[in-house]
């Protein structure tokens, strides 16, 4: 390998390292944000259980799904991916709410 190729490879490695460090920071943000979201939904679940409200709210879920689709489009994120993500989160929240009502 010649010197130019070594320099190019070294620059590529440095750029890759920077991207990976950024991804690691973003992963941490996602985890802490998700934890905060679940703290809020647990509070909602306790409130629903105390007042004998249903664990799910299909109308709100539909509004949230439409909202997330709009946000994902604005953010240039695949709406299908965003929908899968929110569907998973909502199913976990409902499961938690159901458990609180037992």
Contact assessment for residue 45 and residue 100, using Cβ atoms and an 8 Å cutoff:
yes
On the question of pLDDT at 1 being above 80, the answer is: no
Please write the tens of the pLDDT for every residue from 79-102.
Answer: 999 999 999 999 999 988 888 887
- pLDDT at position 54: 93
Mean pLDDT of the chain: 93
pLDDT for 88? 92
Which residue has better confidence, 25 or 96? Answer: 25
Q: What is the pLDDT of residues 40-57, one digit of tens each?
A: 999 999 999 999 999 999
Q: Where are the alpha helices (DSSP H) in 1-102?
A: 3-50, 58-74, 79-100
| pLDDT above 90: percentage of residues in the chain | 81
Q: Are the C-beta atoms of residues 97 and 55 closer than 8 Å to each other?
A: yes
pTM (2 decimals)? 0.78
Q: Does 3 have pLDDT greater than 70?
A: yes
Domains and CATH numbers, the chain: 3-100 (1.20.59.10)
């Amino acid at each position: 390998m010649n010197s130019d190729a070594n320099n190019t490879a070294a620059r590529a490695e440095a750029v890759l390292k920077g991207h990976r460090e950024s991804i690691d920071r973003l992963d941490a943000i996602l985890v802490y944000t998700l934890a905060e979201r679940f703290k809020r939904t647990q509070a909602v679940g306790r409130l629903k259980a105390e007042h004998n409200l249903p664990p799910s709210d299909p109308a709100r879920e539909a509004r949230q799904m439409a909202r997330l689709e709009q946000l994902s489009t604005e953010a240039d994120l695949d709406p299908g991916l965003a929908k899968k993500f929110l569907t998973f989160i909502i199913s976990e929240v409902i499961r938690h709410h159901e458990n609180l009502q037992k």
